[in-house]
Chains A and B, each alone.
Chain A
Amino acid sequence: NAGVMQNPRHLVRRRGQEARLRCSPMKGHSHVYWYRQLPEEGLKFMVYLQKENIIDESGMPKERFSAEFPKEGPSILRIQQVVRGDSAAYFCASSPGWNRVRSSGANVLTFGAGSRLTVL
């Protein structure tokens, strides 16, 4: 019963290149979230997706960043023309759909191990 799978775990890019980070949610989970963690900081929400829909992208930078969660395959976080300030750990998390919320109300996010992006 695999958890949230993220790859690559580590990615090095030069300024101006593109970075693509992939996330496969836990089996049975239909909601995906992306968070970013800058060094020595807490995680910050970026985007919330369901299959083929972006539900909330209020945390996404306006330019260069995009996310998708296609009908088939993993969710992708894409960063175009990377800059040094994009260096961070990017975490994907998943949760069940609303009709599968735990009775306690704790619809707990399950996080992946993260993808660490280094921009040279």
Chain B
Amino acid sequence: AQKITQTQPGMFVQEKEAVTLDCTYDTSDQSYGLFWYKQPSSGEMIFLIYQGSYDEQNATEGRYSLNFQKARKSANLVISASQLGDSAMYFCAMREGLIQGAQKLVFGQGTRLTINP
């Protein structure tokens, strides 16, 4: 069965510093997709970044990058130059099947990130 593990329940970081949020996954599939979502205190789920299992390069989206280490089954999120607005819960998620198919995402428990001024 698929599993996502986020080992950091909470993190505190100074504004403007970079932060890495850990995510490890377990799957027997060769084809899968990895996602990071942000959930601010208002509650909505905001898509941040995606990495396909066959993508050779690490995904980047603005200040977000995904450190994908396939052999270690890790997909850590890196946020550069953190801002106060980055304070939120962050969820790592995995989807089996690379392209089509049901979007049955399996989510981790989340990491609560707090950015201090």
Interface residues of A, Cβ cutoff 8 Å to B: 31, 33, 35, 40-45, 48, 55-56, 58-59, 89, 91, 93, 95, 98, 101, 104-114, 116
Contact = CB atoms under 8 A, between A and B. Distances in A.
A55 B107 CA distance: 20
Contact of A101 (B93, B99, B104): B99
B47 A56 contact: no
Given A43-B91, A48-B102, A116 B43 contact: yes
A110 B69 CA distance: 26
6 contacts: A98-B100, A101-B100, A104-B52, A106-B33, A110-B47, A114-B45
Interface centre among B42, B50, B103, B104 (most CB of A within 10 A): B103
B105 A45 contact: yes
B68 interface: no
Contact of A107 (B4, B42, B44, B100): B100
Given A31-B103, A33-B102, 14 more contacts: A33-B104, A43-B45, A45-B105, A48-B102, A48-B104, A58-B104, A95-B103, A98-B100, A104-B50, A105-B33, A105-B52, A106-B50, A111-B37, A114-B43
B106 interface: yes
